[in-house]
Amino acid sequence: MLEQYKKTAFHESGHIAMTYFAEYSCQEVEVLASGDGKTTMDYGNDLLLISAITNCKEYPEMFNELPASIKLTSPEVAFKASLILLAGSIAESIHLNNGIVDGDMEVELSGPDLIRVQNIDYLLSSISKNHPANFIQENITNIMMTFSIPEIWNSISVLAEFILSKEERKLSRQEIENTLASTGYFDHIKKYM
C-alpha cells in the first residue's frame, strides 16, 4: 500500500503544482487510506465556469445558461483547467519513471480527470474554429516540458514526500504553500508565466 500512497502523493502534487502555475490555489490535499487522493482547489471567480466546462456533456445547460461575459473567457479558463487535470497523471508517470521525463514515457489517463479533459476538448471544439485536433496531446507535451525543469520537479517531489511524512497524509493550504515556497517554486514559475 505504501507504493500506492506514494504514486497518489505524486499525482496530487502534480495537480497542485499546476494549480498554482495557473494562478489558482489549493485548500487542502489528502491521500486517503484507500490509496485514492483528494485535492480541494480554489478556482476563485472561475469556479462556476470550470464546473460548467468540465461537465458540459452531461449537463450542457450549465454552460449554455452562463452569461455571455463569462463565456468569453471559456477558452483561456478551459486551457488552464485541462493543464491542472492532466498534471496529476503526468507527475505520477514521471515518478514511476524515476523522475525522468521521456517522450516515450507512458502516461495513463483515466477516471474523472480524463472525462473532464475530454469534456473540455469537446466544448472547445464546438465553440472555436481554431481548436487543435490534438489538444490533449499538446497539453500533455507542455506539462512534460514544464515538469522536466529540475527546480519544478524538485518542488513536486518535496511536496509529495511531505504529504507522505504526515501521519494522516493530509496538508492544509498553509502547509502546501509553505512547502512550495521553501523550494522556491513560486519564484521559479514566475519565469514561465
Could you tell me the pLDDT band of residue 125, with boundaries at 50, 70 and 90?
very high
Task: Quick: pLDDT tens for 48-95.
Answer: 999 999 999 999 999 999 999 999 999 999 999 999 999 999 999 999
Task: Quick: pLDDT tens for 163-192.
Answer: 999 999 999 999 999 999 999 999 988 877
Residue 118 has phi, psi (to 5 degrees) of -65, -35
Q: Are 121 and 115 in contact (CB under 8 A)?
A: no
Could you tell me the pLDDT band of residue 109, with boundaries at 50, 70 and 90?
confident
The architecture in CATH of the region 2-190 reads: Up-down Bundle (1.20)
Q: What is the percentage of the chain residues whose pLDDT exceeds 90?
A: 85
Could you tell me the pLDDT band of residue 104, with boundaries at 50, 70 and 90?
confident
Task: Quick: pLDDT tens for 2-17.
Answer: 889 999 999 999 999 9
Q: What is the pLDDT of residue 193?
A: 63
Residues 6+ apart with CB under 8 A from 7: 92, 95, 96
Could you tell me the pLDDT band of residue 100, with boundaries at 50, 70 and 90?
confident
3 state DSSP class of 60: helix
CA 105/CA 27 separation, integer angstroms: 31
